[in-house]
Chain A
Amino acid sequence: MNDAVIQLDSVSKIYGKGEAEVRALDSVSISIDRGDFVAIIGASGSGKSTMMNIIGCLDGATQGTYHLDGIDTGTLDEFQLAQIRNRKIGFVFQNFNLIPRTRAVDNVSMPLAYAKVHRKERRERALEVLASVGLAERADHKPSQLSGGQQQRVAIARALVTNPVLLLADEPTGALDTKSSHEILDLFESLHANGRTIVMITHETDVAARANRVVRFQDGHIIEDHRLRDVHAHPVATAVPA
């Protein structure tokens, strides 16, 4: 429990009221350890994204509690949640979600701006992370000048720039061809090898096979939780910046 980065206890998410009520999540409990690499699978509409958004503090649970890194997120106000999203979580979306007309390096350094990091340091750090995803050459390109795979790598660089405890990815390879998908997954594997905690939603079984643990969703429930490899086969997570 102490080592759990994510701790969900009987979390439910209910959309709508009365007749139109949808239980997207129905009393889900799950614990994810530091340094783990978890793949979430399940049919469309089974509640995967709903849980991911709650874990990423983009959305709140209707019932139940969520502890992130030991903090009960239900007690936090809007400003504190923004800080959590900024410092502790890196989010990668299926459709990249880069800010248009803004250079790759500026997209990547943006979370640091919200963390009030100095301008010069921000740029250095952003270039460093861009280089680590293999895009040093493309730093000054706008999103419209990049391929899908490159855009997703910029998005991953942006998610990693604040050195968060948690990397969340909702179908990160969903919009990419096989080659780009492999590049992204290789990147995830090396991040995991360096101790990063990763939670990734996917539809493809071969993608899921790269993870340590596979969790299957159905109708808002976890119906299968399957460990493929031991977490501690890899070195322990790097320190989180203060």
Chain B
Amino acid sequence: MMIAESVRFALTGVMANKMRSILTTLGILIGIASVIILLAVGAGTSNAIKTQIGKLGTNVLTVSRQTTAGGRAAGGQAVTGPRSRGTNLTLQDMAALTDPVMAPDVAATAPVVTAQNVTGTYQDATHAVATFVGTTPSYFSISNDTLAAGSYFSDGDASSGTAVAVIGNTVAQDLVGSSVTSAVGQTIALNGQNFVVSGVLAQKGSSGLNDPDDIVVIPYSAAQDKFTGYSPSLASITVQAKSADVMNQAQNEVQMILDARHNVTSANRDYQVRNQAQILTTATTTTATLTVLLGAVAGISLLVGGIGVMNIMLVTVTERTREIGIRKAIGASRGSIVSQFLIESLIISLIGGVLGIAAGYIGSAFPLLGTQPEVQWWTVWLSFLVSAAIGLVFGIYPANKAAKLRPIDALRYE
């Protein structure tokens, strides 16, 4: 019964200065909402990355050139002929990796030749291509690609350098418009060179960090002829292991073969083997770190909101010193004064908390930083508890200050 009474007294206090109560509540509201939204963004991003890992498959290795000092030294003695940097990863290297005796765990390989700053044009439309790959048709199956329309190019096209291209959904949309399948058979220009679109890839969906549909794939020899200039070296070799379970064996086999061919050891390797899944795991870790940072920033705004509650409660206590004196004179105990003011700060912060949760939900309904935020249930409970805790922690000092006033001092207060 006394609690009900304290709640009633506290409500009168909250209502006595509505504007002030609303502004204080707003501080908590913003803090709680930002915690929920930012953690939801973090969760959304990391889930998107996990989905992308699933799409990529966990059985892909990337062999790329190493251009560190060690690599250069090794390259110098291993290969004849002048070279500006690094060593070559050649088609012969790639062919050696498919040796069923030496590399029983390798299922398929694909060369990758890349070029930067490739712009596609079709009639009036232009599009800056994010990922530009010259390769063989095996690349498509290794990357889990499927066609939305048209066809891939053939192995013959790959080696002869036919001017054909397979384009991703984003590229197709930007160049020919929303009916992406109509791109098939059209001639587009890539940095001024004409290519016939042979196929459009099925959409993979954005992970939030990069867009896997913003891609153009052409025969590797066409890329060498028209973009990189002829060079014996590939940018990288994509290797598919027989299954995710034999990734380590496949990696060892690749390294043994390439070490022998390049005449290097593990100490001075001129190439690097990376596991796609590992790269994405690193990305996930980065996202987690980012989430913690975002959460910390949101937490600080919540802390500021809490200090706001404390500030207002201190003002309230000072303003109502006489009232406290009167209440004490007519028999209020220390406990009832404490509970009155504590409940008052609890009401303010809980209202802020509940509204903040609602605002967090509404805010998380919209995509942010390219991802759809996913509200985590635990953050809602946590926010509720945190706002209650703020009310208690930041209310206890002012409440105590009010309660320990001697009645005569409180009554004399001007």
Contacts and interface: CB of A to CB of B under 8 A. Distances in A.
A102 B325 CA distance: 16
B330 A85 contact: yes
A58 to B, nearest CB: 5
Contact of B334 (A58, A59, A78): A78
Interface string A91-133: 1010001111110000000110111101100000000000000
Given A53-B408, A58-B407, A158 B16 contact: no
Given A82-B328, A85-B328, A102 B12 contact: yes
Contact of A83 (B323, B329, B331): B331
Interface string B1-24: 110110000001000100000000
A14 B406 CA distance: 17
A3 to B, nearest CB: 25
Contacts of B329: 56, 58, 85, 91, 97
Contact of A86 (B4, B12, B16, B330): B330
Nearest to B410: A58
Nearest to B326: A97
Nearest to A59: B408
Contacts of B408: 53, 58-59
Interface residues of A, number: 29
Given A53-B408, A97-B411, A101-B12, A116 B330 contact: no
Contacts of B327: 99, 110, 114
A115 B378 CA distance: 42
Contacts of A101: 12, 16
Contacts of A85: 328-331, 407
Interface string B334-351: 111000000000000000
Q: Please provide the 10 A-B residue pairs with the shortest distance between their CB atoms, ordered closest to farther.
A: A86-B331, A82-B333, A59-B408, A114-B331, A111-B330, A58-B408, A58-B407, A85-B331, A97-B326, A113-B5
A127 B270 CA distance: 96
B322 interface: yes
Contact of A97 (B322, B333, B334, B406): B322
Contacts of B12: 101-102
Contacts of B336: 114
A213 interface: no
Contact of B2 (A86, A91, A93, A116): A116
Given A59-B406, A113-B5, A118-B1, A99 B331 contact: no
Interface in A167-195: none
A119 B12 CA distance: 17
A195 to B, nearest CB: 22
A221 interface: no
A158 B322 CA distance: 17
Nearest to B407: A58
Given A97-B322, A97-B326, A82 B334 contact: yes
B371 to A, nearest CB: 50
A197 B240 CA distance: 101
13 contacts: A56-B329, A58-B407, A78-B334, A79-B334, A82-B328, A83-B333, A86-B330, A93-B411, A97-B322, A99-B323, A100-B323, A111-B330, A158-B330
A34 interface: no
A102 B2 CA distance: 18
A196 interface: no
Contacts of B328: 58, 82, 85
A87 interface: yes
B332 interface: yes
Nearest to B403: A78
B1 A114 contact: no
Given A53-B408, A113-B5, A118-B1, A99 B326 contact: yes
A85 B410 CA distance: 15
Contacts of A86: 330-332
Contacts of B16: 101
A110 B6 CA distance: 11
B323 A114 contact: no
A142 B328 CA distance: 20
Contacts of B1: 116, 118-119
B145 to A, nearest CB: 72
Given A78-B333, A162-B331, 20 more contacts: A58-B328, A58-B329, A82-B332, A85-B328, A86-B331, A91-B330, A97-B322, A97-B411, A98-B326, A99-B323, A99-B327, A102-B12, A113-B2, A114-B330, A114-B331, A114-B332, A115-B331, A116-B1, A116-B2, A118-B1
Nearest to A118: B1
B404 to A, nearest CB: 9
A98 B411 CA distance: 11
Nearest to A96: B326
Contacts of A118: 1
A119 B407 CA distance: 25
A179 B316 CA distance: 37
A58 B412 CA distance: 11
B330 A110 contact: yes
Among B2, B331, B406, B411, residue most surrounded by chain A Cβ atoms (within 10 Å): B331
Nearest to B331: A86
A124 to B, nearest CB: 16
B200 to A, nearest CB: 72
A180 B2 CA distance: 36
B6 to A, nearest CB: 9
A119 to B, nearest CB: 8
Contacts of B331: 82-83, 85-87, 111, 114-115, 162
Interface in A68-98: 78-79, 82-83, 85-87, 91, 93, 97-98
B13 to A, nearest CB: 10
Among A53, A78, A119, residue most surrounded by chain B Cβ atoms (within 10 Å): A78
Among B5, B328, B335, B407, residue most surrounded by chain A Cβ atoms (within 10 Å): B407
